[in-house]
Amino acid sequence: MVTRWAIDHPVHDLFNGLARQKWKRRSCGAGAHGLRIYDWARFEVRPWHRSDRRHWVIARRSVARPQEISSYTAYCPAETTLDDLIRIAGSRWAIEECSQSAKQECGLDDCQVRRYPGWHRHMTLAMAATPA
């Protein structure tokens, strides 16, 4: 278990030299070219925070290029498994794709929203202009 060390060092350093058996090869869902398969690992950070919740740093490593590691931070119920975290991380692509689509269709990529009233006005006009 990694505690204070993880907070005081770059996240990438957590996973350098991690034993091969600690990485789990899993798919995080289907992509445009088939299953997106990566090696995954996680470290608990801040275990003293709450007994019913956990802070995890999750790493995703390329199978073809193992030196390429991406990491995520998760705060979740204590019983959350690595497979659950991988599935949730995999859903990020669908969310980003929908968000990008919405930006283009609603004109949000052209709008500089600073406050809620401006966003509300823009969205009202975009919905009124969109054919049913």
Per residue in 62-101, pLDDT tens?
889 988 888 888 999 999 999 999 998 888 777 777 777 7
Q: Which residue has the higher pLDDT, 113 or 52?
A: 52
Say whether pLDDT at 121 is over 90: no
Please list, residue by residue across 24-56, b when 16 or more beta carbons sit within 10 angstroms of its beta carbon and e when fewer do: eebebeeeeeeeeebbbbbbebbeeeeeeebbb
What Rg, from alpha-carbon coordinates, does the chain have? 19
Pick the closest to residue 60 from 49, 51, 52, 69 (CA basis).
69
Contacts of 35 (CB under 8 A, 6+ apart): 27, 29
**Cα end-to-end distance, the chain, whole Å:** 54
Q: What is the pLDDT of residue 109?
A: 66
Say whether pLDDT at 116 is over 70: yes
- The average pLDDT across 44-69 equals 85
Rounded CA-CA distance 26/35 in Å is 9
Q: What is the pLDDT of residue 76?
A: 92
Say whether pLDDT at 1 is over 90: no
User: How far from 51 is each of 27, 55, 64, 77, CA to CA, in Å?
Assistant: 29, 11, 37, 9
Tell me the backbone φ, ψ of residue 54, rounded to 5 degrees: -135, 145
Q: 131: pLDDT confidence band, cut at 50, 70 and 90? A: low
